[in-house]
Amino acid sequence: MGKTLFDKVWDAHVVDAIENGPQVLYIDKHLIHEVTSPQAFNELKERDIPVFRPDQIVATADHNTPTINQHLPIKDLLSKNQLEQLSDNCKKNNITLYELGHKYNGIVHVMAPELGFTQPGMTIVCGDSHTSTHGAFGTIAFGIGTSQVAQVFASQCLLLSKPKSLRVTINGKLRAGVLPKDVILYIISKLGTNSGTGYFCEYAGDVFKNMSMEGRMTICNMSIEMGARGGMIAPDQTTFDYVEGREYAPKGEAFDKKVAYWKTLPTDVDATFDKEYFFDAEDIEPMITYGTNPGMGIKITENIPNINDASFEKSLEYMDFKKGESLINKPINFVFIGSCTNSRIEDFRVAADYIKGKQKAQNVTAWLVPGSKQVESQIIDEGLKDIFVNAGFELRQPGCSACLAMNDDKIPQGEYCVSTSNRNFEGRQGQGSRTILASPLVAAAVAIEGKIIDITKQLN
């Protein structure tokens, strides 16, 4: 029987297996950041265990960094201490770190692919659930806890049971204005937030084949939001073209050899999956969420469903929305375009294209936070910054920012924020804040109008 893309990559990395137990999986690349690594470094130190393969680790500072005045000393002492510990730990253990201000600094899931660190056929882990992003390259990539960060430090391996396989196929052509973010919000709204638990998901079909690498990253990024450990898309010419020439990518003959191998990775035609789902591209429209988990999404033109369920009602109460109501014309005071889901250059191009020549609504505070220093430079070089600034938007410096509000970028209590990030949990963007997830196009339109609008009217 044929093998899936996931099987091929997984099987190539199995070092050993425990009888009736997990397998020892080899990890090619380990990404770390300031929040989930300090306790792992401490554990190693306490147990007197050296870092086994420091050259397979790359570090960045992102979760806790300020997005203004990055050249100044950090005011928050706890944040400062966490960043200093990261620098110190990396230095002591010979780990490459792209610290705050470095030209390669950025959100871990934006900067690593940009540097060519992420390549097809690899296993990549990071103490961060959105590590699933890297699956866009045909990579097995998933988030781990801090104990596992320590395990990878110690052995470059993890003990894991092989997950089950799931495939989501979408064929056809997407409508105008339907972005990768809408596709993934649509999938999660249909399947629910725990449909993928215990599974690794492959995305297949025309829609993903025709998607850019940036779009594929947006898709795989949110696999965790349906419970899946990770998502994958078969590597193809789009993937190879993206990787070629990047800093850490293999060069010349070595690259050609890799490509020949990467071409063998796509799922065999006779391979089978434990679960399969099919959707039609034409059914997908611009999406928006109304509740406190990413599965609570509707087409922007739809009304909030009528469901009698305590959790559902609790969620609507938090959001101050009513069953059956439409979100169109809801006033919105905050818009955030950023996070590892939608902070790549394409996202800012889409936003700029819509914003050009328009003015932000008076009531709106609109933050644009690039995913990395490189994206920031692209925004400036392509002249997008001028468009944003002229329209009244605030272009900030790279980082996770209001995606999790660990730094000062918080949405005030009770306020709605239309956000391109990935989680609308209670208080995710600041205590008492209310998050509405959407694509960069919808977010840009909301910023201009100061309220949620039916974007489909402008598209047709």
Residues numbered 113 to 172 that lie near ligand SF4 (CB under 6 A) are 128, 130
Closest approach, Cβ 24 to another protein, in A, equals: 6
Q: What are the E-state strand segments in 13-163?
A: 14-17, 23-26, 29-32, 57-60, 96-98, 123-126, 140-143, 157-160
User: Could you give the string, one character per residue 375-404, with x where binding to another protein holds by CB under 8 A and - elsewhere?
Assistant: -----------------------------x
**Phi-psi region for residue 227, left (φ > 0), alpha (ψ -120 to 50) or beta?**
left
The region of 71-79, 141-149, 297-305, 399-407 touching ligand SF4 under the rule CB under 6 A is 399-407
Say which entry of ligand SF4, another protein, none residue 107 contacts (CB below 5 to 8 A, set by partner kind): ligand SF4
User: Could you give the string, one character per residue 116-155, with x where binding to another protein holds by CB under 8 A and - elsewhere?
Assistant: -----x-----xxx-------------xxxxxx-xx--xx
Q: How many residues bind ligand SF4 (CB under 6 A)?
A: 13
Please indicate if the annotation marks 201 as binding a ligand: no
- Pairing label, strands 23-26, 157-160: antiparallel
- Tell me: does residue 188 bind ligand SF4 (CB under 6 A): no
Closest by CA to 183, choosing from 260, 115, 41, 191, is 191
CA 420, CA 431: separation in Å to the nearest integer?
A: 19
| Cβ-based nearer residue to ligand SF4, 271 or 417 | 417
| Cβ-based nearer residue to another protein, 79 or 343 | 79
Interface positions, 332-351, toward another protein (CB under 8 A): none
Closest by CA to 266, choosing from 239, 303, 229, 300, is 239
CA 33, CA 107: separation in Å to the nearest integer?
A: 9
CA angle 365, 371, 372 (to 5 degrees): 125
CA 27, CA 62: separation in Å to the nearest integer?
A: 22
Please indicate if the annotation marks 417 as binding a ligand: no
The region of 84-92, 257-265, 354-362, 396-404 touching ligand SF4 under the rule CB under 6 A is 396-404
Partners of 403 in beta bridges:
none
- Tell me: does residue 340 bind ligand SF4 (CB under 6 A): yes
Sign, Cα dihedral of 128, 130, 136, 142: positive
Please indicate if the annotation marks 126 as binding a ligand: no
Segment (H or E) for 329: none
User: Could you give the string, one character per residue 53-72, with x where binding to another protein holds by CB under 8 A and - elsewhere?
Assistant: ----------xx--------
- Give contact residues for ligand SF4 (rule: CB under 6 A): 62-63, 107, 109, 128, 130, 339-340, 400, 403-404, 421-422
Binding-site sequence positions for [4Fe-4S] cluster: 340, 400, 403
